[in-house]
């Protein structure tokens, strides 16, 4: 009864609750992530490039990604000769799980958060960096020179951008005096005299999150033209789909965290008529999150790819010093105004 002592008398109920919640969030992630976002990405890119985009499967091509996923089920999984088979198989699962774990601390609406961890933002930074390990492992295990280079590039890039990202999180924690995502939402709007610092932190966060998600203009790990898709070139369809799940899942999670930290989370500019606090919160949260996602897609289809020295230079020589100074300025302001 050691477990019972830990969780109180009804630990079975609690366990069922955990499993159901995990399954629901995973389903939401798979449907709201790759399944919807890949279609959205294709439609938006088509719109930006004055094309039509997917059109034939379902009304206006809405079922395109569903059809693609079904097709992937009929493609054999193979690993290359002399690959490290265990690492090769675990890597995509690790990336998908990392994207799922991000969602434990994201508050959807008042009272609607899986677990309001008291170290929320640190937890987010920690589990989202599991992706690096998955990508590096995948690139290494493939025993393909391009994959290895893609994996290494990805690791160099993602760890470099984790630092400015961390400084943005620290700035928000300094202002709210808490690391809990729920408390951070409740503390918004932030005091007006801190707006300049918050805006700088938000921009740094957005740039770093784009780089963490390996998206254009920071998609060097994949770089089709140079690295034949980088770390996942050896991956057969369903495992590739798991990488996609991880990539779009963490894109969605980063957008959700951006919404939580800088856009007021579930709080809207006005109360929706006839909606309770939960529905109101959910609607605003989803709207804001997908607006951020749309912005990132817009950036993707507008800018060309960086060179890797420019990319790392931007992180270490611009974003990192800027966010350090920004944090000090904000701290000084807070101490003085207090």
Partner 1 sequence: MPLDWAYVAVFALVGAGMAALPLGLVWLLAPRSQYPQKRVAYESGIIPFGEAWSQFHVRYYLFGLAFLLFDIEVIYMYPWAVVLRELGGFAFVEMLIFLGVLGVGLAYAWGKGALEWV
Residues 165-204 interacting with partner 1 (rule: CB under 8 A):
166-167, 170-171, 173-174, 177-179
Please list the alpha-helical segments (H only) found in the chain: 2-7, 11-30, 36-48, 64-73, 85-102, 120-128, 130-141, 145-176, 181-186, 195-212, 224-227, 237-262, 277-300, 308-313, 320-337
CA distances from 19 to 12, 25, 26, 54, 111 (A): 11, 10, 10, 36, 19
SS3 readout for 125-153: HHHHCHHHHHHHHHHHHCCCHHHHHHHHH
User: Minimum distance from CB of 201 to partner 1 (Å)?
Assistant: 12
Q: How far is the CB of 78 from partner 1 (least distance, A)?
A: 6
Interface with partner 1 in residues 108-127 (CB under 8 A):
114-115, 117-119, 122-123
Residue numbers 7-66 binding partner 1 by CB under 8 A: 7, 14-15, 18-19, 21-23, 25-26
Residue 3 or 52 having the CB closest to partner 1: 3
Closest separation between CB of residue 299 and partner 1, Å? Answer: 23
> Shortest distance, CB of residue 254 to partner 1, whole angstroms?
18
Q: Which of 2, 62, 1 is nearest to 36 (CA)?
A: 62
Query: Could you tell me how far CA 63 lies from the centroid of its own chain?
Result: 24
Phi and psi, residue 109, nearest 5°: -160, 170
- The residue (of 45 and 174) whose beta carbon lies closer to partner 1 is 174
Enumerate residues 230-269 that contact partner 1 by CB under 8 A.
Answer: 233-234, 237-239, 241-242, 245
Closer residue to partner 1, CB minimum distance, 55 or 145: 145
Nearer to partner 1, 25 or 207 (CB): 25
Residues that contact partner 1, how many (by CB under 8 A) = 88
Q: How far apart are CA 201 and CA 168, in angstroms?
A: 5
**Binding of partner 1 at residue 75 (CB under 8 A)?**
yes
**Comparison of 6 and 192: residue with beta carbon closer to partner 1:** 6
Contacts with partner 1, 286-325, as mask; x by CB under 8 A? ----------------------xx--xx--xx--xx--x-
3-class secondary structure, 56: coil
Residue 112, beta-bridge partner list? 109
Binding positions for partner 1, 83-102, rule CB under 8 A:
83, 89, 92-93, 96-97, 100-101
| Bridge partners, 109 (sequence order) | 112
**Residue choice 13, 86, 291, 328 for contact with partner 1 (CB under 8 A):** 328
Nearer to partner 1 (CB atom), residue 151 or residue 288 = 151
Distance CA 303, CA 296 (A): 11
Q: Name which of 23 and 62 has its Cβ closer to partner 1.
A: 23
Q: Report the candidate in 191, 213, 198 with the shortest Cα–Cα distance to residue 295.
A: 213
Which of 77, 86, 271, 287: binder of partner 1 (CB under 8 A)? 77
Of 44 and 136, nearer to partner 1 (C-beta) is 136
Place of tokens 């951006």: 258
Q: Which residue has the tokens 């969602």?
A: 103
Specify whether the CB–CB gap between 230 and 151 falls below 8 A: yes
Q: How far is the CB of 121 from partner 1 (least distance, A)?
A: 8
Of the candidate residues 142, 197, 210, 254, the single one contacting partner 1 (CB under 8 A)? 142
d(CA 315, CA 205): 11
Residue 195 CB, nearest distance to partner 1 (Å)? Answer: 18
Closer residue to partner 1 in complex, CB, 67/334: 334
């Amino acid at each position: 009864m050691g477990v019972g002592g830990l969780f109180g008398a009804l630990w079975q109920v609690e366990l069922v609750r955990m499993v159901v919640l995990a399954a629901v969030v995973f389903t939401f992630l798979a449907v709201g992530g790759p399944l919807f976002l890949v279609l959205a990405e294709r439609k938006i890119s088509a719109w930006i490039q004055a094309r039509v985009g997917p059109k034939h499967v379902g009304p206006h091509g809405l079922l395109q990604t569903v059809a693609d996923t079904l097709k992937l089920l009929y493609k054999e999984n193979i690993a290359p000769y002399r690959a490290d088979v265990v690492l090769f198989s675990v890597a995509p699962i690790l990336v998908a799980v990392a994207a799922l774990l991000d969602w434990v601390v994201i508050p959807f609406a008042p009272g609607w958060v899986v677990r309001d961890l008291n170290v929320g933002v640190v937890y987010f930074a920690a589990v989202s960096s599991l992706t690096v390990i998955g990508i590096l492992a995948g690139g290494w295990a493939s025993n393909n020179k391009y994959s290895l280079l893609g994996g290494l590039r990805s690791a160099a890039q993602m760890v470099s951008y984790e630092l400015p990202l961390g400084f943005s999180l620290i700035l928000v924690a300094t202002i709210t005096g808490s690391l809990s995502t729920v408390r951070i939402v409740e503390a918004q709007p932030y005091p007006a005299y801190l707006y300049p610092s918050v805006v700088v932190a938000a921009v740094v966060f957005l740039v770093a999150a784009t780089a963490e998600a390996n998206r254009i203009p920071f998609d060097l790990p994949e770089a089709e033209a140079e690295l034949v898709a980088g770390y996942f070139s050896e991956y057969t369809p369903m495992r590739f789909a798991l990488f996609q799940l991880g990539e779009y899942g963490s894109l969605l999670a980063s957008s959700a965290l951006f919404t939580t930290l800088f856009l007021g989370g579930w709080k809207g500019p006005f109360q929706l008529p006839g909606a309770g606090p939960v529905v109101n919160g959910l609607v605003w949260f989803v709207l804001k999150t997908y607006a951020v996602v749309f912005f990132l897609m817009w950036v993707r289809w507008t800018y060309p790819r960086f060179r890797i020295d420019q990319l790392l230079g931007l992180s270490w020589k611009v974003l990192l010093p800027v966010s350090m100074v920004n944090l000090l300025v904000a701290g000084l302001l807070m101490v003085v105004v207090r």
